[in-house]
Amino acid sequence: MFRTLSEKVWERHVVRRAAGEPDLLYVDLHLVHEVTSPQAFEGLRLAKRPVRRPDLTLATMDHNVPTNDEPAEDISARQIEAMARNAREFGIRCYPMGDPNQGIVHVISPQLGLTQPGMTIVCGDSHTSTHGALGALAWGIGTSEIEHVLATQTIAQTKPGTMAVTVDGLLPADCAAKDVILGIIARIGTSGGTGNVIEYRGAAIRALSMEGRLTICNMSIEAGARAGMVAADDVTFSWLEGRPYAPKGAQWERALDDWRSLATDADAPFDRDVAIDASTLRPYVTWGTNPAQSVTIDGAVPDPDALPADARESAHRALRYQELAPGTAVRDIAVDAVFIGSCTNARLEDLRLASEVVRGRKVRSGLRALVVPGSMRVKADAEREGLDRIFLDAGFEWRDAGCSMCLGMNPDVLRPGERCASTSNRNFEGRQGPGGRTHLVSPTVAAATAIAGHFALPADL
Amino acid sequence: MEPTRVVSGRALPLGRANVDTDQIIPSHWLKRIERTGYAPGLFEAWRKDPSFVLNDDRYRGANILIAGANFGGGSSREHAVWALQEAGFRAVIAPTIADIFKSNAIKNGLIPVELRADTVSRLLAAVEADAKTVITVDVVLRTVAAPGVKASFPLAGFLQTQLLEGLDEIALTLRHEADIAAFETKRAEWLPRVR
């Protein structure tokens, strides 16, 4: 029988299968952060249950931590302390604020080599799909499920469908991985992947770096998908080799053989198949309040009445919220803030791409621009290359690691009415702060926009 | 979790599509470490608009929420379900409901009801025309009934059982301890262990 990558990983993790019930799957790695876990630990405490496998559990603090020298406000400090206390009490390794390994949970696990092909990984965060870039099956769960995984190291799940998104052709030079995923979401919609695991395939995906693949898998949830995956290949292996938790010596060789066997069989059928020609993609900018509401940077804000009937009401509401008029050229939209960060686009490659654009230039006066590295390791690596100087000289703030302005839990928020070019993943109403207006872009476009003051490509500067 | 069999009552006609979890409960509410205290944050931003349907006295006391397609998309925050429940909602009806939200809802006894878009439109129209319209969601029969509307909704058998019996899923899984332990002896040796 021919099977897809996601089916192969699924099948090898089935602990128990019974007719009429969801499969009970083993979880190879459970990532935990301070925001969605406290109620789960409290549940364990009340039921007097231990954590079954502390050695397969890793915690960090990312969503609600300050990224500058300011102390956390009381309610946030209480949550941060709860994470430290729960980790201590249940014997879980935690990278707290100030630790050189601290950072956004989806950045630190791949960086440590903990995320490996063929693993099952869960976390109480919808962007857990990120880890699929290395060929792992990884998905976000709620707090009740966190408690279940902590107590049993398993999770009961209905088998998802399979969906192939095949991106062939050559990606234009001024496009990034972010533009590939924004293009995919524009095509299939915010619920285009619902119920499915998306496998990203094709020459344009193979040609991407590991960082680029992480960006793409990260936003699978923005298409409603349960998870996103890329089959492991030499890019994956050379990225993993030598990382702290990667297999070593003879184990490495055995692992490689195993990982190669996980690729989708040549004749395996997918429940749904979407083909995209990479050469038709352009840098994207979202205009609305969901990630499917985007146009290319060469385009203009659409007229809601010219959209398909089922998209009109949302588009009208979005334009009212965003205070944009139909027909406005994207390049004519001025921004108040630029945020380069998040689990989508705050890895070293992202910071390199952005720094190339701002090198020797100045952030437009009056504009607030932030770089928030995805992890303290990314920050240290970037500083070794001098990227911090480039950003600081241009007028960017250079912060410590955290989720920061992606979701506006810490003090890094937009003020009401402010407009932001953001490398993050969600442009929902108020996502970056009540009344704030978010436009999703790649790091390159974000950097050029910070210099120009309105949406721009490096070539426009 | 309390068993949930039938929910009958008035409905809030929210209508709009793509109601994401950041709208249901904005992120600053997630700083709390408790399971309760979220009702004041429900639709916090939209509620500032006096004409928002949740501020309409005619719908006060509604226990069923009717929304457009792709309800509950976005983050995995279970707080969205907690906030809805605390505000009195016991069922959500929409043409499509996002995967993680649906799973979180079931685990807390909030009934996720997916109906055809035209059926949802008819329910919305009925409730908008008469706020006193009573809708009944029956988990046993997997049906939704309102004057002039009768429809079935999909709900897998084990999810139905979960709602009907309000089971402690962790206790159920721990009965399979032997299976879990046996599985653990077969895992590849290179798989990482956090040090």
Domain parsing of chain A, residue ranges: 5-260, 286-460
B129: left (phi over 0), alpha (psi -120 to 50) or beta: alpha
| DSSP-derived 3-state class of residue A404 | helix
Contact call for A224 and B180, based on CB within 8 A = no
Contacts of B191 in chain A (CB under 8 A): 28, 116, 119
A22 part of contact set with chain B, CB < 8 Å: yes
Burial environment of residue A244 by CB neighbours within 10 A (0 to 12, 13 to 18, 19 or more) = exposed
Contacts of B77 in chain A (CB under 8 A): 36, 142
Shortest CA distance from B181: residue in chain A: A15
Q: Closest to B190 (Cβ–Cβ): which among A49, A153, A251?
A: A251
Answer whether A64's CB lies under 8 Å from A35's CB: yes
Shortest CA distance from B107: residue in chain A: A144
B195 part of contact set with chain A, CB < 8 Å: yes
Question: What does the pLDDT read at residue A149?
Answer: 98
H-helix or E-strand spanning residue A166: strand A161-168
B133 part of contact set with chain A, CB < 8 Å: no
pLDDT over 90 at B1, yes or no: no
Q: How far apart are CA B22 and CA B37, in angstroms?
A: 17
**Best residue in B20, B36, B160, B191 to probe A by mutation, most A CBs within 10 Å?**
B191
Contact call for B78 and A153, based on CB within 8 A = no
| DSSP-derived 3-state class of residue A189 | coil
Q: In this structure, what DSSP letter does residue A348 have?
A: H
CA angle A394, A338, A220 (to 5 degrees): 130
Contacts of A435 in chain B (CB under 8 A): 45
Answer whether A400's CB lies under 8 Å from A67's CB: yes
pLDDT band at residue B2 under the 50/70/90 scheme? confident
Q: Closest to B179 (Cβ–Cβ): which among A15, A93, A255?
A: A15
Question: What does the pLDDT read at residue B63?
Answer: 98
B186 part of contact set with chain A, CB < 8 Å: no
Domains recognised in chain B with CATH numbers: 6-166 (3.20.19.10)
**Best residue in B23, B27, B106 to probe A by mutation, most A CBs within 10 Å?**
B27
B76 part of contact set with chain A, CB < 8 Å: yes
Residues 6+ apart with CB under 8 A from A150: A30, A40, A41, A44, A49, A51, A52, A57, A90
A290 part of contact set with chain B, CB < 8 Å: yes
Q: How far apart are CA A226 and CA B170, in angstroms?
A: 22
Contacts of B107 in chain A (CB under 8 A): 142, 144-145
Instruction: Give which of A93, A128, A87, A124 is closest to A107, Cα–Cα.
Output: A128
Angle, helix A387-394 to helix A348-358, in steps of 10 degrees: 40
Size of interface A-B (CB pairs under 8 A): 188
Instruction: Give which of A183, A161, A181, A145 is closest to A43, Cα–Cα.
Output: A145
Residues 6+ apart with CB under 8 A from B172: none
- CATH number assigned to the domain with residue range A5-260, chosen from the 4 options 3.30.360.10, 3.30.499.10, 3.30.420.10, 3.30.2130.30: 3.30.499.10
Answer whether A231's CB lies under 8 Å from A165's CB: no
How far, in whole angstroms, is CA A287 from its chain's centroid?
A: 20
Instruction: Give which of A27, A40, A131 is closest to A83, Cα–Cα.
Output: A40
**Best residue in A143, A163, A260, A290 to probe B by mutation, most B CBs within 10 Å?**
A143
Question: What does the pLDDT read at residue A1?
Answer: 80
Contacts of A78 in chain B (CB under 8 A): 31, 33
Contacts of B108 in chain A (CB under 8 A): 144
Contacts of B160 in chain A (CB under 8 A): none
For chain A, list residues with pLDDT below 50: none
Shortest CA distance from A65: residue in chain B: B31
Contacts of B23 in chain A (CB under 8 A): 428-430
Question: What does the pLDDT read at residue A260?
Answer: 98
Answer whether B146's CB lies under 8 Å from B66's CB: no
User: Do the domains A286-460 and A5-260 match in fold?
Assistant: yes
Listing DSSP states for chain B in one string gives: -----EEEE-EEE---S--BHHHHS-GGGGG--SS---GGGTTHHHHTSTTSGGG-GGGTT--EEE--SSBTBS---THHHHHHHHTT--EEEES-B-HHHHHHHHHHTPEEEE--HHHHHHHHHHHHH-TT--EEEETTTTEEEETTEEEE----HHHHHHHHHT--HHHHHHTTHHHHHHHHHTS-TTS----
Q: How far is A426 from chain B (nearest CA, A)?
A: 8
**Residues in A 370-409 with any Cβ partner in B closer than 8 A:** 407-409
B109: left (phi over 0), alpha (psi -120 to 50) or beta: left
How far, in whole angstroms, is CA A155 from its chain's centroid?
A: 22
B27 part of contact set with chain A, CB < 8 Å: yes
Name residue, tokens 């890019």: A235
Q: Which CATH superfamily is domain A286-460 in?
A: Aconitase, domain 3 (3.30.499.10)
Q: How far is A271 from chain B (nearest CA, A)?
A: 17
Percent of chain B with pLDDT over 90: 97
Question: What does the pLDDT read at residue B167?
Answer: 86
Contact call for B77 and A36, based on CB within 8 A = yes
Answer whether B45's CB lies under 8 Å from B19's CB: no
B73 part of contact set with chain A, CB < 8 Å: yes
Contact call for A224 and B73, based on CB within 8 A = yes
**Best residue in A10, A14, A15 to probe B by mutation, most B CBs within 10 Å?**
A15
A216 part of contact set with chain B, CB < 8 Å: no
Answer whether A247's CB lies under 8 Å from A275's CB: no
